Structure 1
Amino acid sequence: MSPTISRRGLITAGAGALMGASLARPALSRGLPEAPTMAEATMQAPLVPAEGADYTPVATLNGWTLPWRMKDGWKEFHLVAEPVVREFADGMNAHLWGYNGQSPGPTIEAVEGDRVRIFVTNRLPEHTTIHWHGMILPSGMDGVGGLTQPHIPPGKTFVYEYTLTKSGTFMYHPHSDEMVQMAMGMMGFFVVHPRDPALHRVDRDFVFLLNAFDIEPGSYVPRVMEMTDFNMWTINSRVFPGIDPLVVGKNDRVRVRVGNLTMTNHPVHMHGYDFEVTCTDGGWVRPEARWPEVSIDVPVGAMRAFEFDAVHEGDWAIHCHKSHHTMNAMGHGIKTFIGADLRRSTAQIRKLVPDYMPMGHDGMGAMGSMEMPAPDNTLPMMTGWGPFGPIEMGGMFTVVKVRDGLAKDDYSDPGWFDHPEGTVAYEWTGDVAPVERQG
């Protein structure tokens, strides 16, 4: 799973993490660090630090970590704001704006106390900035166009320099034509590890952003004026079944960091486990103040992190618990026909449209296994197959796959879980118990 990243050798990064990189950008003048780019939509291997503080690097679902170089005591990164093409899942691409070839942009990782210098080059058709969401820094580095800095014009590069004063989980996004630029996919994660490598240590550390788009079937560009009726609810600009699973080894201590840059809250629910909420936007939750959950509501513009010990093997769903957020390409003007007798109307319609199929009179579950004609560049409302048939999900849904015997650095998909005999729900074929009528 080595990333397809362009570089020129200036980047200091994990050994092997940039193997197989290809050149994709011209050399930059005046000593700028290279701006790596990523075209792959699958999760790249965590970027193990080659020098400096030791930490467990994060794994970004369907994403990657931005390499850096050290220069004169500064950890230097280079972000490029630009139009990108993002595959939501097989069969649908979106024309978005993002950073370094992707939306969301690459995850930035550093360590508490690091001095960071971040170059931001604007290749958009309009001006932009970057706000470092949740960070403590000088006002002039906060990234609010017109208030704390000039907007970055197209074709120009600005520099942000500050010291990372606290560890935790943060985000980055524009504060310049924010409504359009965030609706087009401009956002990313910024993880700051503790200075003490033993503090808050886990075995596997996953990050992903929740974002949403309104893209009409057959089109490619989001409707940026939409406020409520989104039809693509995504994890890192991907929808199920295109979202990577969270692969962990049995008995691993696992952290999941979730950021929300949509227009609504998301109750993230994980099956098979209870977990501890260990971090918010404001910082780490003290051990005596942590609380147990099986669902954690992630407010708009906020981050939550939770941890659990992976003691239960299996394939465990993790998803937003708003039911419409686990569907793709929903049409919000569809009437409800549950309980309606559509036989007469179906017969009449089939005289004009022989292949017509009525939907919804018995619920929508049959759509999970139907292959119906659809416009180009869209997805079925529910899709994805498991070992027992259609999963009937989409949107903000994926799977935590807990397996025994995984290597520490193995994040590859192990396939579906092999359930031990006698542990799968089954059909009862014995006597049918009478149903007692109430009232």
Structure 2
Amino acid sequence: MSLLNSRRQFFAGAAASVAGLAVARSAMAALPEPVYQTSVDTAPPLVPTTGRPYNPVVTLNGWTLPWKMNNGVKEFHLVAEPVVREVSPGFKVNMWGYNGQSPGPTIEVVEGDRVRIFVTNKLPEHTTIHWHGQRLPSGMDGVGGLNQPAIPVGKTFVYEFEARRPGTFMYHPHADEMVQMAMGMMGMWVTHPKGKHPHISEVDRDFCFLLNAFDVEPGSKTPKIATMTDFNIWCWNSRVFPAIDTLNVRLNDRVRIRVGNLTMTNHP
């Protein structure tokens, strides 16, 4: 064997070892304990105690997912699973969602944050999460079969990327979308600016919610997943009148309302 070939093999082996070590460290990272929420009431804003400061949003009839800091990285844990959502008092619907709710919890970060999201699949089929509107490396974009393998039942996949730009975004599956989104798998994502921003003004009250729709026949508790236009329940964050909470502000407050739309008639 020539010296040149030996050097090539040595450096190739060393590179493979370093790459393998990096993957192993990521794979062995301890999963943060998932946080669950079953109340349909609007939760108070989650004031950050770690990481960069920001003015938190209020999710209408929802909540913000807590995180833990790990060597400068914000770590979240989402659990995709069947849930029961109270759409209005006495009217409960079998849905799929995240961490006990549909929609899932809002994720709030700050521009430039490094985020790591552990996604555990407790659905009866494979899934992914697509971070709708984010600028991401291809392997983190969550399109099953295109830029990542789908997450098998009972397994956890780790997404990691930098929140590059501020704004209002959403997350949802790109795996069997017609079933999973029709069953309620979606959530809001808010990236706050790290400083003054020319297009994002400072406000006193910041709210967010998703528009979503379902077709649930009278007497049934499970949405019809094949419906494309003939819905009978139009929701704000999976709640309908008279069960939608109020948006509470003071006179002269400057208010921002972030509205995401993942109804199945519009999104595909």
Please give the range of the TM-score, normalised by the shorter of the 2 chains.
Answer: 0.7 to 0.9
Deviation at 1:140, TM superposition (A): 0.6
Paired residue secondary structure (1:218)? coil
The residue number in structure 1 matching 2:153 is 154
Please, what TM-score do these two structures have when normalized by structure 1?
0.53
User: For residues 52 and 73 of structure 2, what CA distance do their matches in structure 1 show?
Assistant: 14
1:84 Cα deviation (Å)? 0.2
Find the aligned partners of 1:45 and 1:263 in 2 and give their Cα distance: 29
Provide Cα deviations, 1:284-339, integer angstroms capped at 9, x if missing partner: xxxxxxxxxxxxxxxx349xxxxxxxxxxxxxxxxxxxxxxxxxxxxxxxxxxxxx
Q: Which residue of 2 aligns with 1:141?
A: 140
Counterpart-to-counterpart distance in 1, 2:158 and 2:50 = 24
Q: Secondary structure at the match of 2:211?
A: strand
Query: What is the match of residue 48 of structure 2?
Result: 49
C-alpha distance 131-209 of structure 1, shift in aligned 2 (>3 A): same
Alignment partner of 1:81: what SS? strand
**Aligned equivalents of 1:140, 1:152: Cα separation in 2:** 13
How big is the shift at 1:72?
1.1
Tell me which residue corresponds to 1:339. Answer: none
Partner SS state of residue 140, structure 1: helix
Q: Which amino acid aligns with 2:70?
A: K
- Structural mapping, 1:270-285, within 5 Å: none
Any unmatched runs of 5+ in structure 1? 1-28, 265-299, 303-439
Describe the SS at the equivalent of 1:180.
Answer: helix
CA contact (8 A) 1:86 1:102 kept: yes
The alpha carbon displacement at 1:52 in A equals: 3.0
Structure 2 residue matching 1:153: 3-state secondary structure:
coil
d(CA) in 1 for partners of 2:51, 2:195: 12
Identity %: 68
- Residue identity matched to 1:221: T
How far residue 30 of structure 1 moved from its aligned partner, in angstroms, is 5.6
What corresponds to 1:222 in structure 2? 223
Q: What is the aligned partner in structure 2 of residue 117 from structure 1?
A: 116
Spell out the pairing of 1:125-204 with structure 2 (5 A cutoff): 125-196=124-195, 200-204=201-205
What is the letter of the counterpart of residue 131 of structure 2? W
Opposite residue 117 of structure 1, the aligned amino acid is: R
Do the aligned partners of 1:122 and 1:155 also contact (CA within 8 Å) in 2? yes
Aligned to 1:68: 67
Counterpart amino acid of 1:257? R
Deviation at 1:201, TM superposition (A): 1.2
- Kept in 2: contact 1:62–1:236 (CA 8 A): yes
Distance 1:301 1:65 in 2: 24
Structure number with greater Rg is 1
Shift of 1:35: 0.5
Aligned residue number for residue 96 of structure 2: 97
Q: Which has the higher helix share?
A: 2
C-alpha displacement of 1:200: 2.1
Segments ≥4 residues shifted beyond 3 Å: none
Structure 1 contact 53–197 (Cα < 8 Å) conserved = no
Superposition RMSD in Å: 1.4
* Long gaps (5+) in structure 2: 1-27
Query: In 2, Cα distance between the equivalents of 1:41 and 1:172?
Result: 20
Q: Which amino acid aligns with 1:247?
A: N
* Letter aligned with residue 259 of structure 1: G
User: How far apart are the structure 1 equivalents of 2:77 and 2:264?
Assistant: 29
> With structure 2 as the length reference, what TM-score do the two structures score?
0.87
CA distance in 2, matches of 1:107, 1:117: 15
Structure 1 contact 111–164 (Cα < 8 Å) conserved: yes
Q: In the aligned structure 2, how far is the partner of 1:137 from the partner of 1:241?
A: 39
Say which SS state the counterpart of residue 258 (structure 2) adopts. strand
Count of paired positions: 239
* Counterpart residue number, 1:205: 206
Q: How far, CA to CA, are the matches of 1:113 and 1:95 in structure 2? A: 37
Give the Cα–Cα distance (whole angstroms) in 2 for the partners of residues 218 and 170 of structure 1: 35
1:140-176: CA deviation from partner (whole Å, max 9, x where unpaired): 1000000000000000000000001100000000000
The whole-number CA distance in structure 1 between the counterparts of 2:169 and 2:132 is 6
AA in 2 matched with 1:208: F
* Cross-structure match for 1:378: none
Deviation of residue 110 (structure 1)?
0.2
1:297-316 matched pairs, under 5 angstroms: 300-301=266-267
Return closer, same or farther for 1:103/1:181 CA change in 2, 3 Å cut-off: same
Structure 2 match to 1:79: 78
Q: Which has the higher contact order (CA 8 A, sep 6+)?
A: 2
Q: What corresponds to 1:435 in structure 2?
A: none
Shift of the alpha carbon at 1:256?
Answer: 0.2
